[in-house]
A = this chain, B = another copy of it.
Amino acid sequence: MGKQMTEMLKGTLEGIVLALLADRPAYGYEITARLREQGFSDIVEGTVYALLVRVEQRGLVDVEKVPSEKGPPRKVYSLNPQGRAYLDEFWRTWSFLAERIGQLHDDTEGDD
């Protein structure tokens, strides 16, 4: 979608993935697929895997290795309490930002 989206995803993609995990546990390949379904068509696997490594090292998710019928074993990630708290904080930050920007949009859209 372009460079603007790339920059905008910094900081938000993490929240998006954690929100997906809050819904239900999932593994990397699956998360990538879900993101693509939701319209984030050019988010590639490498990005998601790197992100998952990060959140794991920060202790926001629990990991369980589950054998797959097809291919290597899956690493299934699930949100733990710490992750949930972090996600809460993410929503607060997001709401604040979205509100300001929404207001800015309303103020400036009348003149084009």
Q: How many whole Å from A90's CB to the nearest CB in chain B?
A: 6
Tell me the bound Cα distance from A28 to B96 in angstroms: 23
B19 touches A104 (CB 8 A): yes
Interchain nearest-CB distance for A64 vs B (Å): 20
- On chain B, the residues within 8 Å of A7 by CB distance are 10-11, 14
Interface size on A, residues (CB 8 A): 41
Is A66 an interface residue when CB atoms closer than 8 A count as contact? no
Complex Cα gap A10–B1 (Å): 17
Which B residues are CB-close (under 8 A) to A102? 98
Find chain B residues with CB under 8 A from A16 CB: 100-101, 104
Query: At the interface, yes or no: A55 with Cβ under 8 Å from chain B?
Result: no
Q: How far is it, in angstroms, between the C-alpha of A15 and the C-alpha of B2 when the chains are bound?
A: 15
**Which residues of A are in contact with B by a Cβ distance under 8 Å?**
1-2, 4-12, 14-16, 19-20, 22-23, 38-40, 84, 88-91, 93-94, 96-98, 100-102, 104-105, 107-109, 111-112
Please give me the 5 A-B residue pairs with the lowest Cβ-Cβ distance, nearest first: A7-B11, A8-B11, A10-B10, A4-B93, A19-B104
